Structure 1
Amino acid sequence: MGTLTTRELVPGSRQASVFGVGGAFVAFISAVIAARVYVRVVMLHALGTDDVLMVLGSILAFGLTAASMTAAYYGVGRHVDDIPKETMVPMLKSIYSTRIIYVLSLGFVKVSLLIFYLRLDHRRYMKWIVYALQFVVVGLTIASVFILAFSCYPPAKFWDLTGEAEGHCMDPDSQQVFYEANGILNIITDICIYLAPIPMLWGVRISNRRKGALFGVFGLGILSIAAGCVRYDFVKKLAHNPDQYYSLADSLNWCSIEIYVAVFCGSAPALSVLVKTYAPALLGSSGRTGHSHGHPSGPGGTYRLSSRPTNRRRLSDTIDLNGSQDNIIAGQGRSEGIMMKTDIHMEVNDADSTQTHQDHFRFGK
């Protein structure tokens, strides 16, 4: 019987799961992020800080998948007796990188979500809640990266098999305590982050149907929390597992799933804009309206406004893009519900009729 090469997947190993899960999620999230960027740049012309952070977080997540696949290529997912000695060093280097990339990626994604929340609710106490969560997330991310990067000093000590490299590593029991504490804190921050929009959404002036849809979107965060809990369970099981490289494959898979689900949740509002514009039947709406992607439809750089009943303020029949808020005329009767901000970006507030893609929540600049 011939000797196995490092390119072969050992029957009964979990290597294939790392490649399968990673490949599927990379393809799916690539499409999600591409759609988000298209909506924000092409349709809304409003690429924001939260978009940039989400893209960076996704790129890091792809890096996590690549590092996990590399680790599996060299032995993760195999039983320890099946791992060739010559592949141990590159495998350990890959494992070392997954730990740091995971923390960074999750940190970027969480901060992106929190920046988006700042645009949902401008009440002072809600802002302070979000700022406090940002402080905790950023602090936890920086501290975790520092501890993981220098759990062995110099880092080369982490993958040294000879015992000849100078330096030292954190005591294994101390490392395990850190992993478990970090996992619990991540789960707690996840819960806080996905609960934060609930009081915000109650105060947003949108239809109950759309409000329910947004609750559903953020409700998907439960999946990310669940993935974090499963990952934490696998981390605990690795503590005294004599065949830990075999079980590590599952832990790496759930690290990726946790991040990718969070990316999807954070990008879902942008995807709803795309669906509402090009496939409105899926959301039960009537399709596009007169203007195209925020460009003027009237002469002289103006928007022609149709009349709909509402209790809000009234605009003149056309709005000059070079004008100011003076175009807004206070009305006592029932007229078009439009809010104009100082940057002349319009948001149509129509509770009972179809809205354009600019009516949706903007992710923030």
Structure 2
Amino acid sequence: MAFDYFANPPPGLDLNESRTASNNAIGVVLFVLSLVFVGLRLYTRLHVKREPLGLDDYLMFLGLALNAGNLACCIAGGFYGLGKHIWSLGPYEMRQITIITFAYVFIYAWSVCIIKFSILALYRRIFGLSYFGYFCIALTTGYLITNHIVLPLYTRPLHYYWNQWYGDKGVVQVDEAKFYLGVGIINLFGDVCILTIPIASVLKLHMGRTQKVAVCLTFLLGSFVCFASLYRIITITHLVQSKDISWAKSDVFIWSSVEPSIGIISGCLPTLRPLMMKVINALSTRLPSSFKSSQHSESSGPSLNPLETISKKRTRKINLKDTLGDTINNDTRSQWGKSRLDEDEMCLTTTTVHGECPGTALCKEGSVTTSELSQSMRRERGITMTKEFAWDEGTHDQSPDNKV
């Protein structure tokens, strides 16, 4: 009988022991951090990039709201004795904890799935999704559906699930702890699959090895979610083997809140690159002029860093205005205006040209042909861009025939 749990505590056990406060503190700190990162993401999108929010942003906001529900369940469970030994509690406290558990599983499932959908939407916006990406969507959706099918089948009748602590009659149809373990493993497998999606796309980029490693490491920061999922599985295995349910389940509760918080932080990190670059540029302006001069003298030639677009859906034509500004005059013939396409946060689908024009000498001669400009640009830093225009010193007319 369920009420036998409250009898015969192990000898020497401190029934006043509790880890409710420490678990709640961990959950609150990580939730606040996830809230900060979502706020930085919102600031970056609206104020730094000045772009409308996308599907991935809205899904992350929803994931944050659901994660607040996770934290609320942790705190509510602790209020009724979650984190204390079961022998110090009574049927009423365990009934309330069990009701909260039933609601918590639904909220947790929705939160982790929405966060994963947000990350997949971000990948789709940057790279486009392959068949493997759509497999991850199907796997995540299947995980969510499985929870909604199995949870109402825990016991027959359903209310026996929480009234069993009063000795009510009913049938247990699903081993709760083992079900948590099974879906936890599926969840971890989905995390690993999603983590590998951007790596193959980044390796195809025409960029230096150091840049590839840096971009890959940024995406691999999401591996912290995998570690959180793995540790949550470990806590579930302890729950399977323990009779001290209220004590062992407290770890499952808190790690079911920690995992989505880390997922939110990891999902926001790739979107914060423009903000990071803005901060770095602001700090560089405050460096001593002597340091700037030494840094400038060490750099040879203009800083050009072209990155290819991976997804065909993000390829578009560039006209002459996009690259050289509104007009070409005597002040701008020897200087390229900074060209900036619709870029993603990681700058993986942009072509950016800045600094001194590689074809400066050609421009000063009064005429630039397609082959000359293209060859000059390739000699400098390998810009794969073709521009055709004619420069007339007398009229400053342009005859663009622009292709990319």
* TM-score class normalised by the smaller sequence: 0.7 to 0.9
* 1:27 counterpart (29, 32, 37): 32
Q: CA deviation at 1:88?
A: 2.5
CA contact 1:206–1:349 (8 Å) conserved in 2? no
Aligned match for 1:110, one of 100, 107, 116: 116
Quick one: which of 135, 143, 148 aligns to 1:145?
148
Cα distance per residue 1:82-110 (max 9 Å; x no partner): 12443222222112222111111110111
Counterpart in the other structure of 2:166: 162
Measure the CA separation in 2 of the matches of 1:66 and 1:52. 22
Residue of structure 1 equivalent to 2:135: 132
* Structure 2 unmatched ranges of 5 or more: 1-14, 287-301, 308-317, 328-334, 356-404
Percentage identity across paired residues of the two chains: 24
For residues 82 and 52 of structure 2, what CA distance do their matches in structure 1 show?
42
Partner of 2:275: 274
Q: CA shift at 1:56, angstroms?
A: 0.9
Q: Secondary structure at the match of 2:242?
A: coil
Given residue 147 of structure 1, which amino acid in structure 2 is its aligned partner? V
1:67 to partner: Cα distance:
0.3
Q: Who is 1:357 aligned against?
A: none
1:349 counterpart (348, 351, 359):
351
Q: CA deviation at 1:198?
A: 0.5
Report Cα offsets for 1:236-287 as digits up to 9, x if no partner.
12113111210111222222222111111110022232222234467xx769
Alpha-carbon offset, residue 16 of structure 1:
1.4
Root-mean-square deviation over aligned CA pairs: 3.3
Post-superposition Cα deviations, 1:176-223, rounded to whole Å, max 9, x if no partner, equal 443222122111111111011101112245565554332222222221
Shift in CA distance, 309/212, structure 1 to aligned 2, threshold 3 Å: closer
2:61 paired residue number: 55
Whole-angstrom distance in 2 between the partners of 1:17 and 1:236? 21
Measure, in 2, the Cα distance between the counterparts of 1:120 and 1:310.
18
Q: Does structure 1 conserve the Cα–Cα contact (< 8 Å) formed by 2:62 and 2:114? A: yes
Bigger proportion of residues as strand? 1
Distance between the aligned counterparts of 1:32 and 1:21, measured in 2?
17
Q: 1:83 aligns with which of 84, 89, 99?
A: 89
SS of the aligned residue for 1:90 comes to: helix
Residues 310, 215 of structure 1: alpha-carbon distance in 2 compared, 3 angstrom cutoff: closer
Q: Normalization by structure 2: what TM-score?
A: 0.66
2:230 corresponds to 1:229: yes
Take 1:311 and 1:278, find their aligned partners in 2: how far apart are those partners?
22
Shift of 1:309: 5.9
CA contact (8 A) 1:227 1:258 kept: yes
Task: Map Cα deviations across residues 288-309 of structure 1 (whole Å, 9 max, x no partner).
Answer: xxxxxxxxxxxxxxxxxxx986
Contact 2:152 2:158 in 1 (8 A): yes
The CA distance in 2 between the partners of 1:27 and 1:137, in whole Å, is 26
**Which letter maps to 2:351?**
N
TM-score of the aligned structures, taking structure 1 as reference length: 0.72
Between structure 1 and structure 2, the one with the greater Rg is 2
Structure 1 residues 91 and 190, CA gap change in structure 2 (3 angstroms): same
CA distance in 2, matches of 1:210, 1:310: 10
Instruction: Give, in whole Å, the separation in 2 of the partners of 1:111 and 1:96.
Output: 23
Q: Greater CA deviation, 266-275 or 206-215?
A: 206-215
The amino acid that maps onto 1:140 is: Y
* In structure 2, distance between residues paired with 1:259 and 1:27: 12
Cα separation, 2, equivalents of 1:240 and 1:270: 42
Please tell me whether the aligned partners of residues 49 and 112 of structure 1 are also in contact (alpha carbons under 8 angstroms): yes
User: Structure 1 residues 79-88 or 104-113, which shifts more?
Assistant: 79-88
Contact 2:337-2:354 at 8 Å conserved across structures: no
Residue 143 of structure 1 and its aligned partner are, at CA, apart by 1.4
Q: Which has the higher contact order (CA 8 A, sep 6+)?
A: 1
Matched, 1:99 2:97: no
What count of residue pairs does the alignment treat as equivalent? 302
The unaligned stretches of length 5 or more in structure 1 are 1-9, 288-306, 321-333, 354-365
Query: Aligned letter for 1:236?
Result: T
Alignment partner of 1:76: what SS? coil
Going from structure 1 to structure 2, the CA distance change for 1:271 and 1:12 (only over 3 Å counts) comes to farther
